[in-house]
């Protein structure tokens, strides 16, 4: 079973980004299908994105971070109201950790461990 997790850090504030809504989608032929969702906890982490830990098949997946909601919670303007990260699951038995480093004017992501 594939585990898909994320961790959001607010690099401008120097702290975990708690309260970020995140949706997980899987690509099915020509459309995206939502397979899970959640909100980052006090440590900025979100482990239980999909039932049973995550999709059990290879293919394209997408994490959609509602960064606009996060910045609104902190009465802060942000340039990116949503961040969408598309990645490929090649080994359904592997763990896919997709962190997001966030600031009001930019973001970066990478494959974590």
Q: What is the CATH number of the domain that holds 40?
A: 2.60.40.180
Quick one: 78 exposed, middle or buried, by C-beta within 10 A (0-12, 13-18, 19+)?
Answer: buried
Residues 27, 6, 57: CA angle, nearest 5 degrees? 35
**% of the chain at pLDDT higher than 90:** 81
Whole-model pTM: value is 0.93
Nearest to 47 by CA among 59, 34, 63: 63
CA distance 20 to 37: 11
Quick one: how far is CA 41 from the chain centroid? 12
Supply the pLDDT for residue 2.
Answer: 60
44-66 tens-digit pLDDT:
999 878 766 555 678 999 999 99
Chain mean pLDDT for the chain? 91
Across the range 94-111, mean pLDDT stands at 95
Report yes or no: 19 and 43 within 8 Å, Cβ to Cβ: no
Provide the domain limits for residue 10.
Answer: 3-109
Query: For the chain, what is the domain count?
Result: 1
Give CA separation, 41 vs 1, 13, 28, 92, in Å: 23, 16, 29, 26
């Amino acid at each position: 079973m594939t585990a898909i997790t994320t961790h959001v850090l607010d690099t401008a504030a120097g702290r975990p980004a708690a309260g970020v809504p995140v949706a997980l989608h899987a690509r099915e032929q020509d459309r995206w299908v939502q397979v899970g969702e959640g909100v980052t906890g006090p440590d900025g982490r979100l482990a239980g994105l999909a039932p049973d830990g995550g999709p059990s098949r290879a293919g394209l997946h997408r994490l959609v971070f509602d960064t606009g909601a996060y910045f609104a919670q902190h009465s802060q303007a942000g340039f990116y109201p949503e961040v969408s990260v598309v990645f490929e699951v090649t080994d359904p038995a592997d763990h896919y950790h997709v962190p997001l480093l966030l600031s009001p004017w930019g973001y970066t992501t990478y494959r974590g461990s």
